[in-house]
Chain A
């Protein structure tokens, strides 16, 4: 069965620290991958997406993710986090049929 897993449930960092959030997916074939973010009191917003091509994808607010097919991974990175990055981050994957499978989410807390 298709699934997406996020191994870090809660990450706590100081401002300016580097961030890497793990995401693994469990299915083969054509895969579309996404990272969504939910800031406190707001709805899910798209950070970045991967369909094909360059495995290094850049998104909004300085975030990027790398698709590594051999590791079934799509980790999210940011070189220097800010207090305003405090939010819950969700990795999601799907096939060309459109249904998305979400991970459990990672709560990121950034201390000023």
Chain B
């Protein structure tokens, strides 16, 4: 049973560029959440997708956008990259279960913005 997978594992971009990160959820899961983890900090919630719609959004600018596909996989897009966007980006998948949702995390994509 494959867990949550993310690609790529590492990425280097320059300021102003755009980046797309990808996530495949754990088998049987229908919800995908994205988090940003800066060095020395806990993960910060970016947004969550369910049924191809953004269900919740954290305190991130509109430069951060996402998408969920019919097969439940998801993409995170970041436009106009800033140095401060350098971080580990985590994807978590879960099954929407009446308020008892457990999120399982992928290995993350480490983004470095130069």
Given A98-B55, A99-B56, A99-B58, residue A32 in contact with residue B101 (CB < 8 A): yes
Complex CA gap A98/B102 in Å reads: 8
Min Cβ gap B51→A in Å is: 13
Min Cβ gap B44→A in Å is: 7
Chain A interface residue count: which class? 20 to 34
For A61, the chain B residues whose CB sits under 8 A away are: none
Q: Mark A77-108, 1 if CB is under 8 A from B, else 0.
A: 00000000000001010111111111111000
Complex CA gap A30/B100 in Å reads: 10
For A39, the chain B residues whose CB sits under 8 A away are: none
For B99, the chain A residues whose CB sits under 8 A away are: 30, 32, 51, 95-96
Given A97-B56, A98-B33, A98-B94, residue A90 in contact with residue B102 (CB < 8 A): no
The reply to whether the CB of B106 lies closer than 8 angstroms to some CB of chain A is yes
Q: Which residue of A lies closest to B107 (CB)?
A: A43
Given A32-B101, A34-B102, A103-B42, residue A98 in contact with residue B48 (CB < 8 A): yes
Q: Check A102–B43 contact: CB distance below 8 A.
A: yes
The reply to whether the CB of A12 lies closer than 8 angstroms to some CB of chain B is no
Q: Check A99–B100 contact: CB distance below 8 A.
A: no
The reply to whether the CB of A46 lies closer than 8 angstroms to some CB of chain B is yes
For B48, the chain A residues whose CB sits under 8 A away are: 98-99
Min Cβ gap B6→A in Å is: 9
Partner pick for A43 among B55, B58, B108, CB 8 A cutoff: B108
Q: Mark A19-39, 1 if CB is under 8 A from B, else 0.
A: 000000000001010101000
For A98, the chain B residues whose CB sits under 8 A away are: 31, 33, 48, 55-56, 94, 96, 101, 103
Q: Check B105–A43 contact: CB distance below 8 A.
A: yes
Complex CA gap A105/B31 in Å reads: 25
Which 7 residue pairs of A and B lie closest in terms of their CB atoms, listed nearest first?
A: A96-B99, A102-B42, A44-B105, A43-B107, A98-B101, A51-B100, A102-B43
Binding site for A on B (CB under 8 A): 31, 33, 35, 40-45, 48, 55-56, 58, 90, 92, 94, 96, 98-108
